[in-house]
Amino acid sequence: MRLLERLLRYVYLVYVGVGNHVVNRIPFNAVRIFIYRHLYFMKIGKGTGIEMGVTFRRPRSIRIGCNSFIHHGCFLDGLATLTIGDNVDIGDYVILYCGGRDVRSADYYGGNTYPIVIDDYACIFLRSTMIRGVHIGKGAVVGACSLVKEDVPPYTIVAGVPARKIGERRRDLNYTLGPEFRNQRIVPSAPRTYPEDSSGNNKAGCLDDPS
């Protein structure tokens, strides 16, 4: 029986490893989505994009709505149910972590798992981390490199470690993060200019030529 358990565990690790090291390198979003749906049993809505390099744990417990976008390098943890709504934008290298070790236990093994829920129109910017059990409300925004340990109310903008409220977002959101939106060309803004003083030197000293 123990040998069979080890064999099944090995097969499962290979199964997940193929998804995290082979499937996520396929350079076609439609192919990746098809495999995630039909081989890894993820619930993924129409129009959703998952970039290359995204990794998963227990993918069958992950549900993603329509027209959402998961950027490169994210880690989605399905140890508990992970639910992502419609038109959600998740930036590069975001970590959604439903489980963890219990540092107070004698064997350092057992730990609680709690679901993460991210509602429609939420935006989580790059390198942020969501801790198990948090609920990101509709239209909420999490700034880059933030650590979210508590629920974020709808339309609230938070940032920092730990994340704290820094503003609010408008309520009349009606955009769609479908393929057409994601393929739009981003036009660079005009370069910033600085006034010069009477001697002709740029007032922004850090831009002066040190030579």
Can you tell me the distance from the alpha carbon of 150 to that of 22, in angstroms, rounded to the nearest whole number? 34
Provide mean pLDDT across the span 102-128.
85
Backbone angles phi, psi at 154, to 5 degrees: -55, 140
Residues in a beta bridge with 168: 156
The full set of domain ranges for the chain reads 2-171
Q: pTM to 2 decimals?
A: 0.81
| Residue type (1 letter), 17 | G
Tokens found for residue 105: 């236990």
- pLDDT at residue number 8: 84
Tokens found for residue 81: 């149910």
**Does pLDDT of 74 surpass 80?**
yes
Q: How far is CA 147 from CA 92, 162, 163, in A?
A: 15, 5, 6
Can you tell me the distance from the alpha carbon of 114 to that of 79, in angstroms, rounded to the nearest whole number? 8
**Does pLDDT of 189 surpass 70?**
no
Q: What is the mean pLDDT of the chain?
A: 86
> Closest Cα partner for 132 from 61, 206, 201, 43?
61
- pLDDT at residue number 113: 85
**Is the Cβ–Cβ distance between 42 and 59 less than 8 Å?**
yes
Indicate the CATH number for domain 2-171.
Answer: 2.160.10.10
**Does pLDDT of 112 surpass 60?**
yes
